[in-house]
């Protein structure tokens, strides 16, 4: 089970590009998982989407789905709120449609709940 307190470490292990961002402000982000995921991980996702890097998008959304399946309750909530709802709020409808192609079942369910 993925624990909330380990979420950033899991993320930077899967997305090494974010390691330097985290290390730069480690004291700030250390206990602010929501902020790191929303401000840095979502920005990373959007950059990858704008580059049309299909392989990396698949990798990212496999990680997101894994966090929803295997994360503790707090981790699941963070992924839903900080990542999925942030993607839902993005203005670029074309990018959002592209991203949805990579969503797993739980990611899609959470995304669709954002409509409610």
- What is the reported pLDDT for 115? 72
For residue 105, pLDDT over 80 is answered with yes
Residue 30 pLDDT level (bands cut at 50, 70, 90)? confident
For residue 11, pLDDT over 90 is answered with yes
Contact between residue 77 and residue 2 where contact means Cβ atoms under 8 Å apart: no
What is the rounded distance in angstroms from the CA atom of residue 97 to the CA atom of residue 21?
A: 28
pLDDT > 70 in the chain, percent: 99
- What is the reported pLDDT for 17? 92
pLDDT tens readout for residues 44-85: 999 999 999 999 999 999 999 999 999 999 999 999 999 999
Residues 2/52/87/17 CA torsion (nearest 10 deg):
40
- What is the reported pLDDT for 96? 94
Contact between residue 8 and residue 25 where contact means Cβ atoms under 8 Å apart: no
For residue 39, pLDDT over 80 is answered with yes
Mean pLDDT on 11-39: 94
Token look-up 């480690």 returns 26
What is the rounded distance in angstroms from the CA atom of residue 67 to the CA atom of residue 60?
A: 11
């Amino acid at each position: 089970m993925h624990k909330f307190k380990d979420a950033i470490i899991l993320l930077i292990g899967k997305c090494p590009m974010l390691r330097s961002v985290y290390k730069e402000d480690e004291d700030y982000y250390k206990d602010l998982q929501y902020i790191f995921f929303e401000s840095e991980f979502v920005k990373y996702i959007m950059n990858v989407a704008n580059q049309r890097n299909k392989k990396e998008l698949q990798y990212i959304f496999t990680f997101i789905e894994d966090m929803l399946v295997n994360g503790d309750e707090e981790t699941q909530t963070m992924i839903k709120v900080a990542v999925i709802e942030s993607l839902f709020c993005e203005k670029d409808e074309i990018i959002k449609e592209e991203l949805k192609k990579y969503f797993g079942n739980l990611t899609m369910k959470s995304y669709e709940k954002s409509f409610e």
